[in-house]
Amino acid sequence: MRLAVVGVAMLAITGMVGGAYAQQRGAPRTILQRADSAVPGYEVVAAGAEFQPGATTGWHTHPGEMVGYVFEGILVVEQEGRLATTLEAGKTFIIPAGIVHNDTNTGRTVARMLATYVVEKGKPLNSQIVR
């Protein structure tokens, strides 16, 4: 009985560690700046994201617009209802508020991007969509 309890506990811990590792593998985001917007109830957030080869954000949305600039590597940006777009360094893109999308590094090197968000203040910067 005790062995079974220890086994279940080890599986649970392994699952939690594995889940945390999977989240970190995506595209860790670093908030560079956050300030109130001139639009009441909104804020502007600048963030950098780094994608290892094969890394993906997972399908998600933002509570406002996002303007992205790829400054290194290759990213494929998928937006629900649109064709996927492959973006290389120097390219920009805009994701409208609430649009379900996914970003993936399909290259062989690290991809880096700068994202600027104009979002509703007090809401999470993104919401993951389970598919």
In a domain, 81, yes or no: yes
Mean pLDDT (the chain) is 84
pLDDT given for residue 26 in this prediction: 74
* Domain of residue 108, residue span: 27-128
In a domain, 7, yes or no: no
In a domain, 11, yes or no: no
| pLDDT tens sequence across 24-83 | 357 889 999 999 999 999 999 999 999 999 999 999 999 999 999 999 999 999 999 999
Percentage of residues in the chain having pLDDT higher than 70: 80
Q: Give the whole-angstrom CA distance, residue 81 versus residue 107.
A: 24
Q: Is 54 left (phi over 0), alpha (psi -120 to 50) or beta?
A: left
In a domain, 75, yes or no: yes
In a domain, 56, yes or no: yes
Rg, the chain, Cα only: 18
* Per-residue confidence band for 17, with pLDDT thresholds at 50, 70 and 90: very low
CATH number for the domain spanning 108: value is 2.60.120.10
In a domain, 17, yes or no: no
In a domain, 2, yes or no: no
In a domain, 18, yes or no: no
Does residue 19 sit in helix, strand or coil? helix
